Chain A
């Protein structure tokens, strides 16, 4: 029993042994904690407008100050964390699911389908991310959906390619041939024999992509093309503060700091995860 427990904790201990990993975990926990406890930690409603309190600097009543509508920035930052994290979680999960399925099809399916899908992946990758985002917003209009679609489109080609390469390598291996000769169908071979072998590196890569996803959401919201007001988002706070940057700099400081801390935290964590568990992934292409 105790052996099992220490086994489960070993990866965590190995991460904590690395200073960068420990810092990453601390930052990530801080952000997650802030988002989960947002209702409890914030004294004010994040979207409550209070014209009398507009443009107040940081003080004990408003830790990070207030914006142009008198909304408390500390509450908005905490609730913005919910948006950032849920978008990151949801769109990464969606990209993973789609990427795995497409990658398995490309790797296990007929050659022509493989080539066609590779061409499609390369074409999508050939759009610069921001241009892709701007073009999609033109189509869908500014919304959270547009953000998620952009993230999925940006992430899926990379994930599918990795799964495809690994599937191609495993397809010819002896244990897969053995399973096939014993009558296992395609679905069973993919699910039971190939999936578990290809998913590990992908999860580490996905964890390293989370800061990128958070940056996409914040960036699009900053341009006014993502989350719609009055929903609090870090990018939206930056957008609010940017027009008044000369007179009330604390608004952009409040909007930018959580983005910096979150992207740093997830990046430090992801880098350490990779170095500890899968050094081969260094310099992935």
Chain B
């Protein structure tokens, strides 16, 4: 297990380094002078020159790269253009909103996906099973941003049941939660399908197991067998699936934040692109990439701990 953990950790470090290198190359390739973009058209040449020196743009490429690289590893992502605040700080302010959104998406997907999958497995071969199967495929297929827009249209604009924009008042937990319902539904709906399928498949396997047959032979009530003895085991593979899920929900969260005008890292990057605030774009992309790599790392380590076969594959 130690060897596997070290190898997996090494891979994560290499991937993050590569991501940094790619991002540096991208900033470098963007046409135009970053100092001129930052200062706007009315700046004098002397002002631009001093900012160039301050940003280190007068140095050779490889020195620039090394500085970017070493600073990024220590968490220094430079300052953003508009307010001159540290990029890391700006991103960290927005991150909790995105994490809350993803957590909400997971609540939706687990709360709907597990019962649906369980129900389909118990009613195997019935019309209920078929309907759950089709619904699972359908919610996986439809893009999350379309779900977000339609949810906004139906529940916020037409029915007026839930608020349409923003994240709610900072001090008011109830207000925060009601603002979270629709965006997190958009983020989590696709995963309802994945989880329902996964739980169904693993339930079908578990229901054939010896201990379930023994429980039946002892005459235990069927509901107790299903929920207490079968489902508790059948849920396990889903835990590993959630690692991948969080990563993908990160992508959906970007759209949900833009559609519902919520604060968050996705909205931050989007606005930064529109205002050409490039240090903020690269910083925020880097932070989310690191987050994504970390989540996948944790999920892989968890799978490795649960399933020795995965370790040997490395």
List the interface of chain A (C-beta within 8 A of B): 20, 119-120, 122-123, 126-131, 134-139, 211, 215, 218-219, 222-223, 225, 238, 242, 245-246, 249, 252-253, 256, 259-260, 263-264, 266-268, 271, 283
A134's partner among B137, B138, B269 (CB-CB below 8 A) is B269
B254–A138 CB distance below 8 A: no
B278 sits at the interface (CB 8 A) = yes
Interface of A is mostly: helix
B296–A128 CB distance below 8 A: no
CA distance A120 to B152 in the complex (A): 39
B146–A137 CB distance below 8 A: no
B153 neighbours in A (Cβ, 8 Å): 245, 249, 252-253
A128–B292 CB distance below 8 A: yes
A271–B137 CB distance below 8 A: yes
B23–A130 CB distance below 8 A: no
CA distance A246 to B23 in the complex (A): 39
Besides A122-B11, A131-B285, 9 other A-B contacts (C-beta < 8 A): A20-B134, A127-B19, A128-B247, A138-B273, A223-B258, A245-B153, A259-B146, A263-B142, A267-B137
Q: Which 3 A-B pairs give the minimum distances between C-beta atoms?
A: A267-B141, A215-B143, A130-B251
- Which residues of B in the span 28-79 have a Cβ within 8 Å of any Cβ on A? 29-30
B105 sits at the interface (CB 8 A) = no
CA distance A164 to B22 in the complex (A): 24
Size class of B's contact patch? 35 or more
B19–A256 CB distance below 8 A: no
A122–B146 CB distance below 8 A: no
Given A128-B247, A131-B288, A249-B158, is A263 in contact with B143 using a C-beta cutoff of 8 Å?
yes
B273–A134 CB distance below 8 A: yes
B278–A138 CB distance below 8 A: yes
A131–B137 CB distance below 8 A: no
Interface digits, B255-295 against A, CB 8 Å rule (1 contact, 0 not)? Answer: 10011000000100110010000100110010011001100
B289–A131 CB distance below 8 A: yes
23 contacts between A and B (CB under 8 A): A20-B134, A119-B11, A123-B19, A127-B292, A128-B247, A128-B251, A128-B288, A130-B251, A130-B255, A130-B266, A131-B251, A131-B285, A131-B289, A134-B269, A138-B26, A215-B143, A218-B146, A245-B157, A249-B153, A252-B150, A260-B146, A263-B141, A266-B141
